[in-house]
Amino acid sequence: MANIKKLAENPELLSGGHRLCSGCGAGIVARQTLLAAGDRPVVVANATGCLEVSTTIFPYTAWRVNWFHSAFENAAASASGIEAAVRAQRKSGRLKEDVKVIAFGGDGGTYDIGFQSLSGAMERGHNLLYICYNNEAYMNTGIQRSSATPRGAHTTTAPTGKICPGKIQSRKDLTACLVAHDIPYAAQAVVGEWNDFVTKVQKALATSGPTFINILQPCMLGWGFPSAQTVALGQLAVETCIWPIYEVEKGVYRLTKRPKQKKPVAEWLKTQDRFKHLFGPENAGLLEAIQKDVDLRWEKLLALCGEKAAI
Amino acid sequence: MAAIKVAKTGNEAMAEAMRQINPDVVAAYPITPATEVVQIFSQFVADGAVDTEFIAVESEHSAMSATMGAAAAGSRAMTVTSSQGLALMYEMLYIAAALRLPIVLPEVNRALSAPINIHCDHSDTMGARDAGWIQIFSENSQEAYDNILQAMKISEHPDILLPSMVTTDGFIISHCMETMFFLDDATVKNYVGPYKPHASLLNLAEPHSLGALDLQDYYFEHRMQLAEAMRRAKDRIVEVGLDFGRRFGRSYGLFETYRMEDAEVAMILLGSTAGTTKMVVDVLRREGRKVGLIKLRVFRPFPFAELAREFGRVKAVAVMDRSDGLTSFGGPLFDHVRSTLYDLERRPKTVNYIYGLGGRDITLEDLRSIFVRLQDIAAGGPIDPLITYQGVRA
């Protein structure tokens, strides 16, 4: 577990003044990641997306570490090249420090367009940490569906309409895909459980080889909630088990937080405008199906983590 | 300095240049006909013949992305590709140039799909002509080797900082064995010198952001800087080519003229066809025909002013395009040459030939007939058709 007093002594490597929305979770993810890194030297590769455009409007930058961006789908490939450069320059003696590469991508850049590049980097075993700040849609371009968008959510490319209740399909379980790459460390985290996330980042940075964290990041604009609720919403995602937080270390699953009492998923859905249509009488069946799906996945995860099944 | 006489294919020559350069990082993906370069280089890595960190990436898009990441991190970084591979890199080519990453890319010219075809034409390289890359074509394996070494000195120069692609013609050069000369390892090492990056993501003392969002207030200036660098590259290419000649006995310029001194008609083309054409020029010269050839070596930056000077005395020119721009007005080289000639007081007549698509041979007889037609045009004969698809079946 991270110690907040010690953490507070670490330098702020993501400065204020960037242009992310108030209440944006992506800034929290980046800031906490760099706080977790502390004095371990890191270099960041960023996919195109909210975090990138809002933190580096030329001639300004919010990053006090070396930072690189080239395109949308290639953060993992860029990070691979930077990591190879680290190895080459350490081998030749030009670089003394053990620099760790951290890649950030949104769910668009990670689940979808960057999936191949991510898979390639993970399979090749580069020593890097990839963090997906997952806000469950393409928020930078105006809330379009991604394969991380949950079933029933309204987005601008899977909108609710006279005959359609938002996104029809369930989301892809990307964390499971990454676990299937047999990487030494993969985890799910959430904005709002800061200590859990910081601890996971520190664990990943201390691990040699490819590591991955999928952090659910509430987006007030895309999800439709008051900007003061970001942290509370993240916590509620864990309490309703729609986004369980866990880690997989060398293939061994561990639930890092088990809610004392599992709340109905409707409690989470009703906090956000993107789900409001689900509460109409015509969507009662869908609501029920979503709950069933959450229950099923939760039971499966509990079994993987060696936890006692829910009643 | 020892010149080592060898018999090598174009691919072997390019791989050898890469071994001697010994880049910090190579990220590459195999594609016919460039696969061999990747394979040979992989064997160098496996045998410890290079210090390079080799990344066997999962696509050419990632090959270019990883190469760029390594270059941005202050490493000398290279990749190799061809055709569809270059097409898949397309997005990243523009970004590599604009981020001023001096990557050198050996590229084997191959037709773009569809129909899928593995043989030579220049449509792949021409597709990347506006990406901000220096583009150098090679007539044979020797030139491919020499051009790669020179490209390092051109791209990495602090006044330039632009990526370069050095091309050979697929199969015709890439798989054809020829006698050529390698330089010895120490000479190449000394020639390319240790890499001094302009900036590095691994310089922890001075953190910087590379690849920031540029809006209306800065984008234009940065694109202007890119354009200026490309303009400066022309002088640098000439300087490096002359210096290479002084050091190693083989000089290079922006283009090569062959028997142009008193030529009345001329052909201009790129790549391996130059070899065949020189032979045809010799034969026609023996017949007393005043024909000449301009082998364009550097397509980007395009040597407009320099070429214009060569055409002042010529009466008719055939512009030979080994790709079709599908503009309905001929190939890309035709566009450029016509534009080059426009400001001349005495403009030669020009015709365009699109030839060799998908590896279709161009024969001695084809070339001869084109020269003969040029002489007819020079004597006032008809220009119709302006654009000929040479060697295509009806």
**Averaged pLDDT score across all residues of chain A:** 97
Burial B246-263 (b: 16+ CB within 10 A, else e): eebeeebebbbbbbbeeb
Select the residue of B57, B70, B95 nearest A85 (Cβ to Cβ). B70
Residue B369 has pLDDT above 90, yes or no: yes
Widest Cα–Cα separation across chain B: 70
Q: What is the set of domains in chain B, with CATH numbers? A: 3-194+211-248 (3.40.50.970), 255-390 (3.40.50.920)
Residue A106 has pLDDT above 80, yes or no: yes
Separation between Cα atoms, residue A138 and residue A156, nearest integer Å: 10
pLDDT digits (tens, 9 = 90+) for B99-116: 999 999 999 999 999 999
What are the chain A neighbours of B66 within 8 Å (beta carbons)? Answer: 77-78, 80-81, 84
Residue B28 has pLDDT above 70, yes or no: yes
According to DSSP, the residues that pair with B55 across neighbouring strands are B27
Across the interface, whether the CB atoms of B57 and A95 are under 8 A apart is answered no
The CA–CA distances, whole Å, from B29 to A16, B35, B78, B114 equal 41, 8, 12, 21
What are the chain A neighbours of B74 within 8 Å (beta carbons)? Answer: 85, 89
Residue A181 has pLDDT above 70, yes or no: yes
Separation between Cα atoms, residue B193 and residue B369, nearest integer Å: 48
List % helix, strand, coil for chain A (3-state, nearest 5): 40, 15, 40
Cα-only R_g, chain A:
19
**Quick one: tokens of B313?**
């005395």
Across the interface, whether the CB atoms of B211 and A68 are under 8 A apart is answered yes
pLDDT in the model for residue A76: 98
- Over residues A269-275, mean pLDDT: 98
What are the chain A neighbours of B58 within 8 Å (beta carbons)? Answer: 116-117, 119-120, 123
Residue of A82, A91, A117, A181 to mutate, testing the B interface (most B Cβ within 10 Å of its Cβ): A82
pLDDT in the model for residue B311: 92
- Binned at pLDDT 50, 70 and 90, residue A309 comes out as confident
- Over residues A170-182, mean pLDDT: 98
pLDDT digits (tens, 9 = 90+) for A191-200: 999 999 999 9
What are the chain A neighbours of B201 within 8 Å (beta carbons)? Answer: 43, 66-68, 82, 85
Across the interface, whether the CB atoms of A81 and B212 are under 8 A apart is answered no
Residue B336 has pLDDT above 70, yes or no: yes
Domain A4-304 has CATH 3.40.50.970: yes
Residue B206 distance to chain A (closest CA, Å) = 8
Instruction: Check residues B2 and A97 and name the one with the higher pLDDT.
Output: A97
- Binned at pLDDT 50, 70 and 90, residue A310 comes out as confident
According to DSSP, the residues that pair with B107 across neighbouring strands are B81, B167
Across the interface, whether the CB atoms of A67 and B62 are under 8 A apart is answered no
Residue of B202, B216, B219, B223 to mutate, testing the A interface (most A Cβ within 10 Å of its Cβ): B202
Burial of B24 (0-12, 13-18, 19+ CB in 10 A): buried
pLDDT in the model for residue A1: 83
Residue A62 has pLDDT above 70, yes or no: yes
**Quick one: tokens of B28?**
């590459």
List % helix, strand, coil for chain B (3-state, nearest 5): 40, 20, 40
Residue A169 has pLDDT above 70, yes or no: yes
Burial B316-341 (b: 16+ CB within 10 A, else e): bbbbbbbbbbeeeebbbbbbbbbebb
pLDDT digits (tens, 9 = 90+) for B167-184: 999 999 999 999 999 999
Separation between Cα atoms, residue A228 and residue B56, nearest integer Å: 46
Separation between Cα atoms, residue B109 and residue B273, nearest integer Å: 13
Residues 193-252 of B with CB under 8 A from A: 201-204, 207-215, 218
**Quick one: tokens of A199?**
């601890």
Residue B60 has pLDDT above 90, yes or no: yes
Instruction: Find the angle CA(B81)-CA(B86)-CA(B89) to the nearest 5 degrees.
Output: 115
In 10 A of CB A33, how many CB atoms?
27
| Sequence-distant (≥ 6) Cβ neighbours of residue A37 within 8 angstroms | A13, A100, A102, A201, A205
pLDDT in the model for residue A241: 98
Domain spans in chain A, listed from the N-terminal domain onward: 4-304
pLDDT in the model for residue B312: 84
Across the interface, whether the CB atoms of B203 and A66 are under 8 A apart is answered yes
Contact, A40 vs A206, CB < 8 A?
Answer: no
- Over residues B260-288, mean pLDDT: 98
pLDDT in the model for residue A302: 97
Separation between Cα atoms, residue B327 and residue B311, nearest integer Å: 25
Residue B33 has pLDDT above 80, yes or no: yes
pLDDT in the model for residue A35: 97
Nearest residue in chain B measured CA to CA from A54: B213
What are the chain A neighbours of B59 within 8 Å (beta carbons)? Answer: 116-117, 120
- Over residues B330-348, mean pLDDT: 96
| Sequence-distant (≥ 6) Cβ neighbours of residue B234 within 8 angstroms | B254, B298, B301, B303, B306
- Over residues B118-144, mean pLDDT: 98
pLDDT in the model for residue B379: 97
Select the residue of A66, A92, A99 nearest B51 (Cβ to Cβ). A92
In 10 A of CB A231, how many CB atoms?
17
- Over residues B41-55, mean pLDDT: 98
Provide the 3-class DSSP secondary structure of residue B202.
coil
Cα-only R_g, chain B:
21
What are the chain A neighbours of B99 within 8 Å (beta carbons)? Answer: 70
Provide the 3-class DSSP secondary structure of residue A142.
coil
pLDDT in the model for residue A311: 61
Provide the CA B299 distance to its chain's centre, in angstroms: 7
Tokens 């410890």 belong to which residue?
B48
Select the residue of A63, A70, A119 nearest B68 (Cβ to Cβ). A70
- In terms of Cα–Cα distance, which of B375, B306, B372, B376 is closest to B341? B306
- Binned at pLDDT 50, 70 and 90, residue A2 comes out as confident
Contact, B295 vs B274, CB < 8 A?
Answer: yes
pLDDT in the model for residue B269: 98
What are the chain A neighbours of B56 within 8 Å (beta carbons)? Answer: 124
Across the interface, whether the CB atoms of A71 and B215 are under 8 A apart is answered no
The CA–CA distances, whole Å, from B267 to A175, A187, B294, B325, B351 equal 60, 64, 6, 19, 10
Across the interface, whether the CB atoms of A66 and B70 are under 8 A apart is answered no
Contact, A184 vs A210, CB < 8 A?
Answer: yes
Residue A12 distance to chain B (closest CA, Å) = 14
- Over residues A160-176, mean pLDDT: 96
pLDDT digits (tens, 9 = 90+) for B209-249: 999 999 999 999 999 999 999 999 999 999 999 999 999 99
Across the interface, whether the CB atoms of A69 and B69 are under 8 A apart is answered no
Share of residues in chain A with pLDDT > 90 (%):
98
- Binned at pLDDT 50, 70 and 90, residue B51 comes out as very high
pLDDT in the model for residue B1: 66
Q: What ranges in B249-363 are assigned the alpha helix state H?
A: 273-286, 304-311, 332-341
Provide the 3-class DSSP secondary structure of residue B262.
coil
